[in-house]
A and B are shown apart, each in its own frame.
Chain A
């Protein structure tokens, strides 16, 4: 609970072991669905890299492989209309939030069928029907926006929670610190999710971030609840988020209820380079291999088999589906049209004046309305 001054009184760290094993409450159908989603992200990203190398995707492109359990595990603990917002490494969040992979791939191909009609690209994926408020490519810049989403929830007295994802590199941006302070003084329903993959580009967290060995102090400084979990383990992520999201969620009509903001340090690893052009001189092959031995998808598959939630055949089938979906998304993107030149002047203003034009909503939006 919070005191009159908005200070959270409970700030002690919760580690993996401390959470009720909520994941065991999930039935086999849902567990397989989440594993399937992680596999989809993996296979989708493999195709993304391939398409990038073939010159079909341009610009900067950041691959989510290795971090799949973070997006899928945390989003599994939310309700579909809880707003989420993230940085530029956003393909995983979009897919975890149910964006059709075809619209996601088409966006990266710069096609009119993309989620933003080819105007946003890999780093700026938005999905309004699924309450994803974007990928944002200025490091830390999404944090104040996330606080704004939480302010909206608070203002409208809704029973929702905002998940605001950021990289460990964003811990050193002023925008993040101002956001933590505002969230704390107003007790807003927001969770800052640090996807701590231990590097920001080539800078290891120890080299760039004070108190890297104990990030809880960042939360304590603002009187915000701290938690941490193993981001390579779906179960650990889900258990942690189920607990923290439920605690933060206010009850309808009572914006003072709920335990207020939290800061969750999700320790994870990216198996690929920072972006598609990274020679990776800053880390050893052994380190990467060691982390790959802990692969979140293999771990979850083994758990499901061991606990009798799925058979090996079912798991192979899930992976097969993921591969097919990924291939289909590339085919769809390839076959889609590029935007007409008219699109250059649409979506500049919502009430256009000369020389601007009114645009059609993206196909993704129109499909969502038809449903």
Chain B
């Protein structure tokens, strides 16, 4: 089977990554709410209980502080936990464990205790879930030194990045999206034509049993001459949709998928901006003190003289996520907003 023929959903790609890694290393276990007997609240871990048994695929009670902290302790002890949050929105009750203990243990112990752990789950608006359930945690958590933050954008990225996350010896926050878990079910139809040619499907284990996508290396998804769009995760698809529309108007954008915000591959971003002289950053979290602001600032620090306009940020609106479908759509980044931003920044209004 060639890569192009593979139709693999985002959730299956995540599962493949976990299964392959768990087969490789017995110290890895998956723990979280409903991951075992229920087969995963979102079916990411479907079938894994049967494969690995209840000692390695472990259902927890609804105790995020308890099981996130358990993961950190187990990682200090030498195990390699994968802790699933049903949604990153629910991780906030475990904040002390995930942002105090996990990323700072190595430092405050003077290098004695590292924490090789992956926290993963759905991030971002799931669709009319209201504000408590629609958190985008990347900007908030990217502030903390000592953790890595990965946001996959396709099934291929999901598998390659998650395998890397599991092998990493430092804490990794792995941000998936409920809205993308089914992506790939319809094959290429789910993806922009810029992702055709098999780029979105990962190799199976038979094709490549060591398929890793390194952290801190951004992916130049589409080359273009007129403006750079920087993003990661689900908004990548909005950016590519915008790119197709803009192409019809003769505006040729370059699109960068950061893959990881921590570490951030600023070199690739700056190189692109030096070429296009314009930049739009698309970030699905709030604008204040955000990833988008940080990337813009780093561009100013390194390539101020190469810019022919200010950097424009496309983010969530600075309000709580509303329930109303219409209001929610208005609040989130989408292709229309990106198109307008590119036009504005390149003086094509």
A365 within 8 A of B: yes
A127 proximity list for chain B (CB < 8 A): 112
Select the residue from B100, B105, B107 with max chain A CB neighbours within 10 A: B107
A362 within 8 A of B: yes
- Interface bracket on B: 35 or more
Min Cβ gap A148→B in Å is: 2
**Which of A113-121, A203-211, A315-323 lines the interface with chain B?**
A113-121
B106 and A349 contact, CB distance less than 8 A:
yes
Closest residue to A343 on the B side, CB-wise?
B110
Closest residue to B31 on the A side, CB-wise?
A151
Closest residue to B94 on the A side, CB-wise?
A144
B69 and A144 contact, CB distance less than 8 A:
yes
Min Cβ gap B91→A in Å is: 14
Select the residue from A124, A149, A347 with max chain B CB neighbours within 10 A: A347
B60 within 8 A of A: yes
A182 and B63 contact, CB distance less than 8 A:
yes
B168 and A351 contact, CB distance less than 8 A:
yes
B46 within 8 A of A: no
B70 and A147 contact, CB distance less than 8 A:
yes
B64-108: CB near A (< 8 Å → 1, else 0) gives 011111111111111100000000000000001100110001111
A128 within 8 A of B: yes
Min Cβ gap A149→B in Å is: 5
A201 within 8 A of B: no
Contact of A147 among B73, B75, B113, B146 (CB under 8 A): B73
A356-371: CB near B (< 8 Å → 1, else 0) gives 0001111001000000
Give A124 to B79 CA distance when docked, in angstroms: 22
Min Cβ gap B293→A in Å is: 20
A185 and B114 contact, CB distance less than 8 A:
no
Give A146 to B77 CA distance when docked, in angstroms: 10
Give A138 to B61 CA distance when docked, in angstroms: 23
A23 within 8 A of B: no
B69 and A148 contact, CB distance less than 8 A:
yes
| Known interface pairs A145-B76, A181-B61, A349-B146; A116-B67 also in contact (CB < 8 Å) | no
B2 within 8 A of A: no
B216 within 8 A of A: yes
B216 and A126 contact, CB distance less than 8 A:
no
Question: Which residues of A in the span 175-231 have a Cβ within 8 Å of any Cβ on B?
Answer: 175, 178-179, 181-182, 185
Min Cβ gap A353→B in Å is: 5
Give A351 to B70 CA distance when docked, in angstroms: 23
A124 and B73 contact, CB distance less than 8 A:
no
B348 within 8 A of A: no
Question: Which residues of A in the span 285-303 have a Cβ within 8 Å of any Cβ on B?
Answer: none
B38-68: CB near A (< 8 Å → 1, else 0) gives 0000000000000000010000110101111
| Known interface pairs A145-B101, A148-B75, A348-B145; A179-B112 also in contact (CB < 8 Å) | no
B100 and A141 contact, CB distance less than 8 A:
yes
| Known interface pairs A149-B76, A151-B74; A141-B112 also in contact (CB < 8 Å) | no
B113 proximity list for chain A (CB < 8 A): 126, 128, 133-134
Min Cβ gap B173→A in Å is: 14
B109 proximity list for chain A (CB < 8 A): 116, 119-120, 124, 126, 128, 134, 347
Give A346 to B110 CA distance when docked, in angstroms: 8
Give A361 to B77 CA distance when docked, in angstroms: 18
A174 within 8 A of B: yes
| Known interface pairs A126-B113, A151-B74, A347-B110; A353-B63 also in contact (CB < 8 Å) | no
Min Cβ gap A104→B in Å is: 13
Give A118 to B170 CA distance when docked, in angstroms: 21
Closest residue to A180 on the B side, CB-wise?
B66
A182 and B106 contact, CB distance less than 8 A:
no
A169 within 8 A of B: no
Give A329 to B75 CA distance when docked, in angstroms: 32
Give A149 to B69 CA distance when docked, in angstroms: 10
A347 proximity list for chain B (CB < 8 A): 106-107, 109-111
B77 and A148 contact, CB distance less than 8 A:
yes
A119 and B61 contact, CB distance less than 8 A:
no
Give A112 to B314 CA distance when docked, in angstroms: 46
B111 and A155 contact, CB distance less than 8 A:
no
A148 proximity list for chain B (CB < 8 A): 69-77
B127 within 8 A of A: no
Contact of B107 among A114, A151, A348 (CB under 8 A): A348
Question: Which residues of A in the span 269-311 have a Cβ within 8 Å of any Cβ on B?
Answer: none
| Known interface pairs A141-B100, A144-B73; A350-B114 also in contact (CB < 8 Å) | yes
| Known interface pairs A147-B73, A351-B169; A117-B65 also in contact (CB < 8 Å) | no
B65 proximity list for chain A (CB < 8 A): 144, 174-175, 178
A117 and B110 contact, CB distance less than 8 A:
yes
B100 proximity list for chain A (CB < 8 A): 138, 141
B74 proximity list for chain A (CB < 8 A): 148-149, 151-152, 155
B29 within 8 A of A: yes
B126 within 8 A of A: no
B224 within 8 A of A: no
Closest residue to B263 on the A side, CB-wise?
A353
A83 within 8 A of B: yes
A143 within 8 A of B: yes
Closest residue to A160 on the B side, CB-wise?
B77
A85 proximity list for chain B (CB < 8 A): 73
28 CB-based A-B contacts, threshold 8 Å: A83-B77, A115-B110, A124-B109, A126-B113, A127-B112, A133-B73, A133-B76, A134-B108, A141-B97, A141-B101, A145-B70, A145-B97, A148-B70, A148-B75, A148-B76, A150-B73, A155-B55, A175-B69, A181-B61, A346-B111, A347-B106, A347-B109, A349-B146, A350-B114, A351-B170, A353-B263, A359-B111, A361-B110
7 other contacts beyond A126-B113, A350-B111, with CB at 8 A cut-off? A116-B108, A119-B110, A134-B109, A149-B74, A151-B77, A152-B73, A350-B106
Q: Sorted from nearest, which 4 A-B pairs have the closest CB atoms?
A: A148-B73, A144-B69, A178-B66, A152-B77
Binding site for A on B (CB under 8 A): 29, 55, 60-61, 63, 65-79, 96-97, 100-101, 105-114, 116, 145-146, 148, 168-170, 216, 263
